Amino acid sequence: MLPIFTPAPLIPWTVASPFKMRPGLSRLEELVFSLFQCDDLAAQYAERKRQLLNEQRQQVLMGEADPAVLVEIAKHYQQQTAIQLDAEVEALTLGMQEDFVILHDELQGERWDMNARFLSVCFPSNWNPSEKLGLNFHAIHAPVADNALLQAGAKGIIDLAFRKQPMLRHVWLLTPNSDLPSHPLQRPRLWGDAMQQADSGLLLEQLYFRVERQTTLPLPALKRGVFFIRVMVAPLVDVLRLEPERAQQLAAALASMSANILAYRGMTGALPRLLTELEHFG
């Protein structure tokens, strides 16, 4: 299947330095944004999801989804788009360009915590959704490198984003994989492969800029919260060429990454070449 690329001008650019794994949350009510984004690629997203459902359904849909929560998701989607969706798991999975995770607010000992009880995730970014079922925020983010800021802010993030206020966050990364799903059980093009492919050209031309647009929907009356993930991918060079300062901004962010982050993202060996190519990009 051909790659599904979001046009580069529509890819959010949130690259900043120094790079840190941080919450980076914004209130949706203060922005001209919605929980969802529906664009001209919707049919291609649906077809790719349909393929994944046919080939590996148990790795895409996990857990039990509350009918009342599915109704709320469909209702909010219909309020913000012109598309009508049935409040059924498969209809929502195929009808939305977003993936989604339903969290339950549960009493554990003497405190309440949010645990992932249902996942509809077709397009993970190098993580295995089946390993997250039943986990809370701390456990979900335990494998993330340099996660101290995320873990320290866990209670505040959960309270605000999943109990009180819809929130927005963007996460970006560079990847040699052009496909929307980037699952560890599949073999994507690894960084080593990209380095070999680039022997006679630019490594930058072998890479893609991948962004997760993450939004949240608190449903306190149901003691539930929903986490939405919209994945967007574009060739890195197309994104860089939009503004002349982007190559310098990306180089500064990459140079500021810790050794743990670089290893976590598989970029350790590629960093020197990336910095050199970005310095001369244009």
Mean pLDDT (whole number) for 25-36: 80
170 located within any domain = yes
The pLDDT value given to residue 185: 62
194 located within any domain = no
User: In the beta sheet, which residues pair with residue 208?
Assistant: 175, 235
Going by the DSSP 8-state scheme, the letter that residue 131 receives in this structure is G
223-to-66, 117, 129 alpha-carbon distances in Å: 11, 12, 22
280 located within any domain = no
Q: How many domains does the structure of the chain reveal?
A: 1
pTM reported for the whole predicted model: 0.94
Q: Three-class SS of residue 70?
A: helix
79 located within any domain = yes
The pLDDT value given to residue 137: 77
The pLDDT value given to residue 274: 97
What range does the domain containing 25 cover? 8-185+209-235
Residues 6+ away with beta carbon under 8 Å from 263: 145
245 located within any domain = no
226 located within any domain = yes
In whole angstroms, what is the distance from residue 154 CA to residue 133 CA? 18
281 located within any domain = no
Amino acid identity of residue 183, one-letter, is H
Instruction: To the nearest 10°, report the CA torsion of 270, 266, 181, 127.
Output: -170
Has residue 32 got a pLDDT over 60?
no
The pLDDT value given to residue 186: 59
pLDDT tens for 101-119 read 999 999 877 788 899 999 9
The pLDDT value given to residue 241: 98
In whole angstroms, what is the distance from residue 23 CA to residue 148 CA? 11
Has residue 30 got a pLDDT over 70?
no
Mean pLDDT (whole number) for 41-57: 96
The pLDDT value given to residue 107: 84
Has residue 48 got a pLDDT over 90?
yes
Mean of pLDDT over the chain? 91
Residues 6+ away with beta carbon under 8 Å from 77: 35, 36, 83, 85, 92, 95, 96
171 located within any domain = yes
